Amino acid sequence: MTDRRPHRYLIRAACLVPFVVFAAVYGTAAGHGFINDDFIWIRDSRVSNWADAAALFYQNSGFYRPLVSVSFALNEWMFGVNALGYGMTNVVLAFLCGGAIAALGKALGLSRCAAIFTAALWMLNFHGLRAAVLWTSGRTSLLVTLMATLCALALVRGWLWPALIGLAAALLSKEEAILLPLVLFTWLLVLRRPSSAWLILATGVVLLYLAVRATTSAMTPWNAPSYYQPTLAIGHVWENVTQYADRAGTTATLAMLGAFVLLGRVRPFLDPHVRTLGILGIVWIVGGFAPTILLPVRSDLYACLPSVGVCLIAGAVCQRLWTGATAARRSRLLAVAIVAILAATPIYVARTERWRRLEEFSAAAMRDLAVLTAPVPEHAAVVIDDDVTTRFNLTSAAGSLLSDAHLVMTGRVLRLWIEPALPGMIDAGEQAPCDTCVALRLKVTGGHIVPR
């Protein structure tokens, strides 16, 4: 992680292996099918004319994330309902996030190799990236991370207007970017480049965003479902803190501990540059988690944006350890890093299995439904007995959105009812079709839907 490279082939291998592993693991696991909210994003993002395209910026599906809607509209135009194209889009977005993180690290004074290392840490996080890449709807976190990182990169380089554009794009991707103006203004203070212009204009962008959002029916903390309403319960908040510390920081912490052991006893936190990046990273982490840390619902996706700060800290620490180490220790570290990443590959593969298998079941179920319900007239009622003995079933794949999923995949309107009845549908006041109203009865068995 320095300009002096006595082991250039080993360094190149260490820089390349993490991204090859990422591509091999996620490139083969993504895009096997749609689940849950994916169907709603596709349905509500379909565009047939310019009016539909403009509508993406003032309609919502509970949230106000028009840039995500645009990405789904582009995917639907390019791939129809072929899940592979959507999955590969997520993989590409993850690589773009890694590139943006590396560029940000370089702009903050990291060497090229240290910046690449920082990006690799983010992409090889055991937690957040799995859901963000493998769940098509998880691209919300990829987009907000990409746009927020590009915003920070532009501001650090002194490009005010591109930074404002990046801020607007981040806000239009996901609500977690709401504190980005304050986070980056604090960065400027730490870097001794205070800019009142940034604070004033960025605040204006946020106010404009909130004003436009208020014209839609997108949920707010006051009218959101209970699981999206902040809570101050100490026990719950503490559990969130510990859970998110693991989800955002475990991979980077292990990397730093390994560097401490293999590179020697340099005290990196005595270095002014390390301290500066440490402060910047902490501010980013706090600002990234602030909008979600009080929510009762917990998600790996919420760790994607804040973990950029953790990785910047790890990159600075490991770079300092590297510069103070001997050539022999550096070679040992590189060899151990390569072996460790390759050895961990089966773990990454195993952690993708749940998402991949659920998507494969969903794709098979949608194909079975299309064939079995083809003779049934539109608007007819179809009852399906779910297989509750396995986690890969209709309840997990689509749940109360099953009718919407069928509409997205086939263009036909049916009333699909899952048995046993889903609590959410009962709470919404929906009732099972009467026996004489049911046009077709099916069941889930062996990973497929078959006649009952």
- Residue 360 inside a domain? The answer is no
At residue 429, does pLDDT exceed 60? no
At residue 436, does pLDDT exceed 80? no
Can you tell me the mean pLDDT for 201-209? Answer: 96
At residue 399, does pLDDT exceed 90? no
Asked whether residue 51 falls in the same domain as residue 79, the answer is: yes
Asked whether residue 130 falls in the same domain as residue 157, the answer is: yes
Residues of the domain holding 152: 8-354
- Residue 359 inside a domain? The answer is no
Asked whether residue 136 falls in the same domain as residue 218, the answer is: yes
At residue 1, does pLDDT exceed 70? no
- Out of 24-33, 53-62, 283-292, pick the least confident: 53-62
- Residue 434 inside a domain? The answer is yes
Can you tell me the mean pLDDT for 173-190? Answer: 96
Asked whether residue 340 falls in the same domain as residue 399, the answer is: no
Using CA atoms, how far residue 61 sits from 49, 58, 65, 244, 316, in Å, is 20, 11, 9, 26, 40
- Residue 442 inside a domain? The answer is yes
- Residue 363 inside a domain? The answer is no
**For the chain, what is the domain count?**
2
Asked whether residue 349 falls in the same domain as residue 381, the answer is: no
pLDDT band at residue 16 using 50, 70 and 90 as cut-offs: very high
- Residue 131 inside a domain? The answer is yes
Residues 272-306 pLDDT 10s: 899 999 999 999 999 999 999 888 888 889 999 99
Asked whether residue 291 falls in the same domain as residue 397, the answer is: no
- Residue 362 inside a domain? The answer is no
pLDDT band at residue 348 using 50, 70 and 90 as cut-offs: very high
At residue 70, does pLDDT exceed 50? yes
Asked whether residue 237 falls in the same domain as residue 313, the answer is: yes
pLDDT at 11: 86
- Out of 4-13, 38-47, 71-80, pick the least confident: 4-13
Q: Does residue 25 contact residue 348 with C-beta atoms inside 8 Å?
A: yes
Of 321, 354, 387, the last residue of a domain is 354
pLDDT at 220: 77
Asked whether residue 156 falls in the same domain as residue 240, the answer is: yes
Residues 245-279 pLDDT 10s: 999 989 999 999 999 888 877 677 778 899 999 99
Asked whether residue 413 falls in the same domain as residue 332, the answer is: no
pLDDT at 424: 64
pLDDT at 5: 52
pLDDT band at residue 408 using 50, 70 and 90 as cut-offs: very high
Question: Which DSSP string corresponds to 336-360?
Answer: HHHHHHHHHHHHHHHHHHHHHHHHH
Using CA atoms, how far residue 296 sits from 221, 234, 236, 311, 428, in Å, is 12, 12, 7, 26, 21
Asked whether residue 183 falls in the same domain as residue 330, the answer is: yes
pLDDT band at residue 433 using 50, 70 and 90 as cut-offs: confident
Of 354, 385, 416, the last residue of a domain is 354
Asked whether residue 52 falls in the same domain as residue 139, the answer is: yes
Question: Which DSSP string corresponds to 112-164?
Answer: HHHHHHHHHHHHT-SSHHHHHHHSGGGHHHHHHHHHHHHHHHHHHTT-HHHHH
Q: Does residue 365 contact residue 372 with C-beta atoms inside 8 Å?
A: no
- Residue 368 inside a domain? The answer is no
Of 299, 327, 354, the last residue of a domain is 354
Asked whether residue 334 falls in the same domain as residue 416, the answer is: no
- Burial pattern 56-95, b for ≥16 Cβ within 10 A else e, equals beebbeebbbbbbbbbbbebbeebebebeebbbbbbebbb
